Structure 1
């Protein structure tokens, strides 16, 4: 089961909800998998489950979804989580956190690069493109991956960014 299918199905559920007052429902994905979704109109949190012969995949997304980072990682001090999307599948988990920080992008990315190195990640990519900073790496021991991107806001003193973490079960 691929995360892309769950992401596409989530988009479909959000479109369905935007078109009316639907806050839950069932449908079939493009590839015939059974799916169901719920959207909390008050908080905006979305939940979705897709079931097929490999098992169940689920997604939970919203600003108030609890953040769970690997050991050794913390959110950049003072960060505000804008959205947290967690995908659980039979073979692993993926997390994408969108955040805002009252610090320059280079300081934000340095925080995560240092944490990744300390947690045993091999940094495979570091990039700076017009002020947007990115760092990505993999931990060979369990095939976990991390990618962090931060872009400066207009004044340059604050930034917005994303953390993407993927882990495999049985690592």
Structure 2
């Protein structure tokens, strides 16, 4: 459990750093690409690149647990671990992929006409096929959330919210992150 937590911390650190780099560089972007290095509060070092034309951000972080890499943007190819796929007809608004050691993970933001319940049925079936034990299944208003994991280290979550005729969903799937 502790190693999974380390992996999740590395994943979250990479996502936060990428977001900060994108925001910081996006404000004063004069050329099509910006890059640099950083050291976080824990002494970890990294490099980042933000392409202002495509919006893609790439980050590499060196930690005591190894190297974590991340790519994020609208045109980053989607390759969800564990046999998960994109809901048919959904538009990918953003995709973030992270790798750390033997682990890999993706966070995809989707937009679709399907309801949160339809997305939960689709992704719940994929989770079952992947051997994921659903540990959270919650509906509140126009929002549906599912989350679970396998004993082997595959983690999954869905958070889908309906506004008007559009559902926005965040799908996260990670395999062996932090193991």
Calculate the aligned-residue CA RMSD, in Å: 2.0
Equivalent of residue 156 in structure 2, options 146, 154, 163 = 146
The residue aligned with 1:120 is 131
Determine the structure 2 residue equivalent to 1:61: 72
Distance 2:82 2:153 in 1: 15
1:13 to partner: Cα distance: 1.3
Q: CA deviation at 1:91?
A: 5.1
Kept in 1: contact 2:113–2:167 (CA 8 A): yes
Q: How many Å separate the matches in 1 of 2:26 and 2:178?
A: 38
SS in 1 for 2:171: strand
Looking at secondary structure, tell me which structure has more helix per residue.
2
Structure 1 residues without counterparts, runs of 5 or longer: none
Structure 2, unmatched stretches of 5+, are 1-5
Instruction: After TM superposition, give the deviation of residue 97 of structure 1 in Å.
Output: 0.5
| Distance (Å, rounded) in 1 between the aligned partners of 2:80 and 2:72 | 15
1:136 equivalenced with 2:136 (yes/no): no
Label 1:11 to 1:170 Cα distance change in 2 as closer, same or farther (>3 A).
closer
What residue is the counterpart of 1:16 in the other structure? Answer: 24
Counterparts of 1:1-171 in structure 2 under 5 Å?
2-21=10-29, 23-90=34-101, 92-140=103-151, 142-155=152-165, 158-168=166-176
Q: What SS does the aligned partner of 2:81 have?
A: coil
The 3 A distance-change label for structure 1 pair 29 and 90 is: same
SS, match of residue 26 in structure 1 = strand
1:36 aligned counterpart, secondary structure: strand
TM-score by length of 1: 0.88
How far apart are residue 7 of structure 1 and its match?
A: 2.4
For these two proteins, the number of residue pairs brought into alignment is 168
Q: How far, CA to CA, are the matches of 1:78 and 1:152 in structure 2?
A: 16
